Structure formats: C-alpha cells, structure tokens
Amino acid sequence: MPRWQEIKPLVKIRPPGFGPEARLASAASIWDLREIARRRTPCAPFDYTDGAADQEVAMRRSREAYGRVEWQDVTVLRDVSAVDTSTSLLGAPSSMPLALAPTGFTRMLQHEGEPAIGRAAQRAGVTYALSTLGTTTPEDLASAAPDLNRWFQLYLFKDRDFSQELLERAKDSGYSAVILTVDTAVAGARLRDIRNGLTIPPSLTLKTLFDMARHPAWWYNLLTTEPLEFATFRNFDGTVAELVTSVFDPALNWADIDWMRQHWQGPLVVKGIQSVEDARKAVDHGADAVIVSNHGGRQLDRAPTTFELLPDVVDAVGEKIEVYVDGGIMDGGDVVAAVAQGATAALIGRAYLYALMAGGEHGVDRALEMFSAGIERTMQLLGVASLKELDRGHLKMR
C-alpha cells in the first residue's frame, strides 16, 4: 500500500471554478464549446444556429468531407520551430487563413453580439463580415472595433435605393470589401425553426415562459440590454421565413451583379458559388473573390459539398481571383486542408457562434485561439513552414 506521505505531493485538489473563465477553460474543442452553448441557450436560438435546411444532409456532408482527408507527403526532421500562418485577404493582412463569415440575428443568440465578435476578431488579427441581417449597425460595429478589417455582407434588396444607401454607409464606416450573398433566391426550409415557432424577437408564449425558468440568465440578458432588432430593418416582427421572403429577390441575376459593380468601387466578393460555371461568370462580371459556399447547408439541402467542389473552382478561376470556402469547418486541420486544396482562406460561421453562446467575447477569443493553435500545430506536424508550401500533394480523400 502506498503511504500518504508518498501520495501527498501528487494530490492537487483545486476548488471548483465558476463563471465564464472556468467554463471556457474546460473546453478543448469547438465541439466542447457547442455543448456548453447548448446547455446555456434556449432551444429555439440554439437550433436556429445549429440547424440547417430540410434533412440537413448538406451540412452533415460538409463536415464529413473534412473527416475523409488523409495527409500525404508528411515531412519529419525539418525545422518547424517558426511557422508562418499569416496571409492576406484582398490586400489586407490576416494572421491566419481564416475569416468570420456573416451571420444574422447575432444578439438573439447571445446578448453581446457583433461588437464582441468584432473585438475578438480584431485582437486575433482576422477579418469579420457583418451581415445585412445583423443586430448591430455598420457604424456601431466600426466604433466597437475600429482596427478590425471589416467586410459588409449585402443582400440585394428589391428596393435598389435602400441597397445603395447601405453600400454608402458601409463605405463611410470603413468596410474594406462587400460580400454579395447569392444563394438565397428564396428562404431555405429550416425545419427546426418551424417546429420551435421561432420569431424575432422571441415572443412570450407559454413555451417561452417555461424556457425562461430553465435559462434565466439568457432571458435576463435579453430583456435588460438594448432591444433586439435588425439594425437595418427596425421594427420587423414575424418569423425568419417571413422576413427572408420580404427581403430576398428571386429575380436576382447577373445584371444585378453589374449594378453592384457600378455602385461599389471597392473589392467585391460573391458568396454562395456552387458551380465552376458560376465561378467563371463571377469573374466575367467583375468579382474580386468568390466564396464557395452553400450557406452552411441552410438553403439548398443536398447542395454540392463545398470542400469537394473547391479544387475545380480553384483550377478554373484561382489565377484571376481569390477563392474562399466555407461550410463545416471546425478546427485548424480543416483550415489547413482547405488551403492545401487551393483556398486563400476558409470562413467559419457556427464555430464562432457556438463560442459566443458559450462565453460571449471570451468565448470567441477562445475559439480563435483554438483555430490559431490548430493551424500552427498541423503545419508543424506536416513539416510545412509557410502556407505557400501547402498543395494538393499534401492530402488524399479516403
């Protein structure tokens, strides 16, 4: 039997931690942050983030595709004590090949919202795109994170004067590029939102009152901070689908991209490209970059799997414009795989939203640290000292 005197130095009883720091310290991955988020957030806003369209096949496939990657050409015994993860996106420096995709309704998920995400992105030296359906105005995000490389995501409204006004506001408040999202001719069918009866702002029904008892902190924060509203459409009251239908224009076509090109002189990014042919057309119509994206599987279910489509798009247009990819990216290894397939950068959506719901601004800091450490570690273990050295020889799909 070991004696107490021998065991004593090994015993380290720490008092249990409370509060956001302790909660976040226990998370080792984005999946852990998702679990914390799930416990802390009412079902309707959590499902709004976590869910996708119809049977959610596209979302599942996006994640599975990264699981099929097997690294090749792994080089050992190479000095990788200093790897360089930095790159540039449309001329702006970025500490890593990662950016934060536009996501709407953010303050409904967690009350700190877009300013918290913007400050965390600014600290990490990465780009963040504010959504047209944001809950913070372009001006307020700019003053919360003045040194952030900010992009503005636009849904082109039927009302072109209003669209033009938004572009002016983005320009005046220092947004360096505009993303035009083109995969939303109509709203996707988000079945979880329908089942949860999601409304924005959340309405007080018997179900929500019951939910309040289980998530008092979330409701307290919602009700004691600035009223929840779409910064660009004040006073909208209805379901997400109703809003989306009133905003999106199913008649949108390439002539509208030409309209955009005339009204926005800065870099233009077309988001939601799902075929090689459309990537080529985007170049012809003056895009400076495309995002190979299916909206995280939230629009067309069974859409092409973006990671698999990426190499073909890079081969077709990669010499002329920057190509980004999003959908299903959950760790640094996924980002390195996307760069090896030819992407300039990968964008994340849910990964940083889970982090926000798990721990507000500190949560987003934590997620970005995980990505940064994961990208660096993967490169070191692959034997690659800079992003330029990554190529398709580094992976095969199992």
Ligand X SMILES: Cc1cc2nc3c(=O)[nH]c(=O)nc-3n(C[C@H](O)[C@H](O)[C@H](O)COP(=O)(O)O)c2cc1C
Q: In this chain, which of 118, 202, 304, 328 binds ligand X, going by CB under 6 A?
A: 328
The whole-angstrom separation of Cα 175 and Cα 351 is 23
Write out the DSSP string of 244-311. HHHH--TT--HHHHHHHHHH--S-EEEEEE-SHHHHHHHHHTT-SEEEE--GGGTSSTTPPPHHHHHH
Q: Is 343 helix (H, G, I), strand (E, B) or coil?
A: coil
Q: In this chain, which of 34, 119, 190, 295 binds ligand X, going by CB under 6 A?
A: 295
Count of residues engaged in binding ligand X, rule: CB under 6 A: 25
DSSP at 324: E
* 215, 295, 362, 394: the active-site residue: 295
Please report whether residue 240 would count as binding ligand X according to CB under 6 A.
no
Please report whether residue 181 would count as binding ligand X according to CB under 6 A.
yes
H helices within 26-136, ranges in order?
30-40, 43-50, 57-67, 106-109, 113-124
Q: In this chain, which of 97, 138, 327, 363 binds ligand X, going by CB under 6 A?
A: 327
Please report whether residue 271 would count as binding ligand X according to CB under 6 A.
yes
Measured from the CB atom, the residue of 178 and 382 that comes closer to ligand X is 178
Query: Which residues from 80-109 bind ligand X, rule CB under 6 A?
Result: 101-104
Please report whether residue 133 would count as binding ligand X according to CB under 6 A.
yes
Q: 335 is written with which tokens?
A: 């980002």
Query: Which residues from 42-81 bind ligand X, rule CB under 6 A?
Result: 48-49, 62
Q: Is 111 a catalytic residue?
A: no
Q: Is 390 helix (H, G, I), strand (E, B) or coil?
A: coil
- Closest distance of CB 199 from ligand X, Å: 15
Measured from the CB atom, the residue of 151 and 219 that comes closer to ligand X is 151
Q: In this chain, which of 329, 338, 345, 387 binds ligand X, going by CB under 6 A?
A: 329
DSSP at 16: P
The whole-angstrom separation of Cα 152 and Cα 17 is 39
Please report whether residue 153 would count as binding ligand X according to CB under 6 A.
yes
Locate tokens 């940064």: which residue?
372
Q: Is 86 helix (H, G, I), strand (E, B) or coil?
A: coil
Please report whether residue 334 would count as binding ligand X according to CB under 6 A.
no
Q: Please give the positions annotated as active site.
A: 295
Instruction: Catalog residues that contact ligand X under the rule CB under 6 A.
Output: 48-49, 62, 101-104, 131, 133, 153, 181, 271, 293, 295-296, 298, 326-329, 348-351, 353
